[in-house]
Structure 1
Amino acid sequence: MIVSRFSKLTQKHRIFSTDGQCFLLAELVEKQGKESLPYLVDALNSDWSIVRACAAKVLGQLPADVDVVEALAVAMADSDLTVRRNAVESLGMMKPVPVSAIPALLEALVDEDVLVREVALLVLQEIQNVIVAETDACNGRSVA
């Protein structure tokens, strides 16, 4: 039911408020999980930056996989600052952060916005810490 509600909304999105669309995106992820990905990707192509920003934000609630990371990487190249911020923050919310996110995060290090750059750096440091800890564990070294 929620999928059909969202489909109708995206087709006629100009007659609904952006807050309503954001609420539906969050509800869609909560109810449909990974199956909501095509609708979120569609929302990333909205003419309204607030809808794209909401989609980028709720993508971080999905399990980390290649398709989700790819969608967030696209959002990280958006012309709107809030969309880019939400996308990089969503990558940071994924635990563990997928290694497949590294190329998009490296590109974000040269973003015009300082917050996008800072969050990208923090997420890359988190990935590095996980890799170092796993390497140390494999080599029998103590992390302490």
Structure 2
Amino acid sequence: MAEEQLVTFSLGSEEFGVNIMLVQEIIRIPPITRVPKAPSYVEGVINLRGNVIPVVSLRNRFGMDRVEETDLSRIIVLQVEAKVFGIRVDGVTEVLRLDSEAIEPPPPVALGMDSQFIRGVGKIGDRLLILLELEHIMGES
């Protein structure tokens, strides 16, 4: 039986998951430098050990209300294809394994989010985990 290892995180009351193979690291939020004329969902760039990395606000990208940063807020640094970027999340929950049989295709309504960002929905007991398709997060669409 195939399984995926996921890093799970929260945005408000929703729980999301990304494939752990795409995650380079998880960091506390450093100072973010704003970039003029960047798309609204790009918060700016950070300096991570000499590398300049763009940071995407997933709340903004998904049309959610902005909230204040807390002690649990993190940036998950990802490498998707050749792009390295960070996503700002409200908190990282855990790392878990999920059987492929527990993953269903995204519902037609796509939970009010743009369906291009959703790869599927994972079921873990009573919890539902929205699995993200990260190739489009940095895209213009």
TM-score tier (shorter): under 0.3
TM-score normalized by structure 2? Answer: 0.23
The structure with more helix, counted as a fraction of residues: 1
Larger RCO (CA within 8 A; separation ≥ 6): 2
TM-score normalized by structure 1? Answer: 0.23
